[in-house]
Amino acid sequence: MFSREDFIFTIGYDGAAAVVDSQAKKRYSALSARELAEKGLFRAAYSCAIWSKDPKELETVVEIYNRISGASLSTDSSLDRLFGVFPVEVKRSILL
């Protein structure tokens, strides 16, 4: 089973395996989407919001991103492409 933490800290794929940043996972796995975004970890924050399927978390991440970056994105923007996060089926995780 692909865990929340593995999804949030996936940095790429090797076939059907997710490649996970083990150092980031160890250090930041207890943080919420808001906390990740406030630390500037927007890809992880976006992944966390996607995993939770809570639209309010996604709005929070976009709001913090806009405030820090000066952008004016909305939740309707192509955020998947911006952050490179797409939910996919994986069979296992490889920790780096």
More confident site: 34 or 83: 34
Report residue 50 CA to chain centroid gap.
Answer: 7
4-27: average pLDDT: 93
In percent, how much of the chain has pLDDT > 90? 70
Q: Which two tokens stand for residue 2?
A: 């692909």
Taking the model in full, what pTM does it have? 0.89
Give tens-digit pLDDT for 25-52.
999 999 999 999 999 999 999 999 999 9
Spatial neighbors of 47 by CB under 8 A, at least 6 apart, are 7, 8, 9, 10, 83, 85
Q: How many CB atoms lie within 10 A of CB 14?
A: 10
